[in-house]
Amino acid sequence: MSKELPVIKVDQVNELEHAVVDGIDISGHWNRMFSQRAISDYPTEAMDWVTSLAGGESLRDCYQCGKCVPVCPVQHVGDYGPRKLNAKVLRGNNLLDDPDLWLCTTCGNCYRVCPKEVDPLRIMPAIREQAVLEGKIPDELSDVFRNLQKSGNPMGESPRKRIDWVAEAGVDVPVISQLGRPVDVLWYVSDYTSYHPRGKDAARAMARVLTALGVDFAILGPEERSDGDSARLAGESGLFELLAEQNIKAFSKYEFQRLVVMDPHAYNAFKNHYPRLGWAGEVLHYTQFLAPLVDDIEFRSSVELDVTYHDPCYLGRNNGEYDAPRRLLQAIPGIRLVEMPHTKSNGYCCGGGGGGMWLDGFVADHVSERLSERRVREAVATVGMDGSGVLSVACPYEPSRFEDAVKSTGNDGRLDVRDIVELIDQAMQPSGS
């Protein structure tokens, strides 16, 4: 990008002592105006560079209408916004050195309202990939990339420990390589569900629900690798492809009718990106899989709770599924479902997407509060004001993010965070257990 900027031309100033139109004096501050100015006074190299990247093309289409401003979750807590990003690039700024490059969570809310379909879900990974290639990447994030590459999960844990949660599931969880036969459902458990303590709670609950429904399922076990979708959105498309190669190799070894996933990010990767890499099977988020079967679930107790549901960006807004999770919640006896103000297609992002899960330290310097904290405060206002409410979630990024936020906003005891499948599992147990 050129550093040789043209000298700012002195604008011609037109001034009238009186502004008279059709005999009427309409004088005002507009008596003094500058001559017209060409927009190409700004160097175009920065915008040309972004739009030359595959995926970066739509940034030029922004015409600064500002519809994205009130819907961007980061704009609510900081100085950042999609429109501002366009303005920066128009004025020749280099985003590679700009912290703003890492604040977008790719929640998609701006894209939803944009009349010109400017798409950060494609622009961000394109620019971020260039940053990664130049080594301009926050350390927090590169540490996770290393872990993903080395161990196939963001924590850097041993792949063998991916099935540690199985021991306490209380039911059989077959690993497909040992089962040695085709299955109906290959259940892709995902990283946080497999390794994080709260994720493991959801994994065990899901295993019990699948067993109670008599589903013919199996898991990949230690062969399972991260979906890598957030790494892709954070600029590591090479890493995404490496992980995809490993997963597709595993998928291709076995016969199954459909892939059921816990994680909306995995859903997004498998449904929208794996076909171009060579795998195009049927993928369902677990709520989509269970919702048609909900009448077959035998509920033995009532779960008397005020519950609100957080639409995960990558299941809801970015992939259009709002109903299945709600059908499940409404089927659980006792649950009183209340919607938050920011709901469904206008859901408020938890901050974990687009690499945000691994940038909390970095982002904290640029926002007044974390997105997850803001969302928790909204949930408390909705269901937590008189005793204990429940924020129900359907994405494995959520339990840890929201539970941390409950503590850090001082709302311990007013809001529990539970995955939908945990609530189903609870209602399947007899009362008092």
**Which of 293, 166, 146, 273 has its CA nearest to residue 219?**
166
Our finding on whether 411 is near other proteins (CB under 8 A) is no
Q: CB of residue 136 vs other proteins: minimum separation in angstroms?
A: 9
Site string for other proteins, 234-253 (x = CB under 8 A): --xxxx-xx-----------
| The two structure tokens encoding residue 406 | 């409950």
Buried b (16+ CB within 10 A) or exposed e, 84-107: bbbebbbebeebbebebbbbbbbb
Q: Which is nearer to other proteins, 152 or 353 (CB)?
A: 152
**Which of 361, 353, 313, 314 has its CA nearest to residue 99?**
361
Q: Which is nearer to other proteins, 274 or 289 (CB)?
A: 274
Decide: residue 281, CB within 10 A, 0-12 exposed, 13-18 middle, 19+ buried: middle
By the 8 A CB rule, do 402 and 365 touch?
Answer: no
Q: CB of residue 140 vs other proteins: minimum separation in angstroms?
A: 8
Q: CB of residue 83 vs other proteins: minimum separation in angstroms?
A: 30
Our finding on whether 150 is near other proteins (CB under 8 A) is yes
Return the SS3 of 411. coil
Our finding on whether 137 is near other proteins (CB under 8 A) is yes
- The pairing of beta strand 256-261 with beta strand 183-188: parallel
Q: CB of residue 190 vs other proteins: minimum separation in angstroms?
A: 19
Our finding on whether 403 is near other proteins (CB under 8 A) is no
Q: Which is nearer to other proteins, 159 or 174 (CB)?
A: 159
**Which of 253, 195, 200, 197 has its CA nearest to residue 226?**
195
Q: CB of residue 104 vs other proteins: minimum separation in angstroms?
A: 20
**Which of 94, 96, 62, 97 has its CA nearest to residue 81?**
62
Q: Which is nearer to other proteins, 216 or 404 (CB)?
A: 404
Q: CB of residue 271 vs other proteins: minimum separation in angstroms?
A: 23
Our finding on whether 51 is near other proteins (CB under 8 A) is no
List the interface residues with other proteins, window 107-136 (CB under 8 A): 129, 132-133, 135
Q: Which is nearer to other proteins, 12 or 158 (CB)?
A: 158
From 137-145, 213-221, 253-261, 349-357, span contacting other proteins (CB under 8 A): 137-145
By the 8 A CB rule, do 125 and 234 touch?
Answer: yes
List the interface residues with other proteins, window 362-391 (CB under 8 A): 364
How many other CB atoms are there within 10 angstroms of residue 263's CB atom? 29
Return the SS3 of 218. strand
Element (H, E) at 418: strand 415-419
Residues forming contacts to other proteins in the complex (CB under 8 A) are 129, 132-133, 135, 137, 139, 142, 145-146, 149-151, 156-160, 236-239, 241-242, 360-361, 364
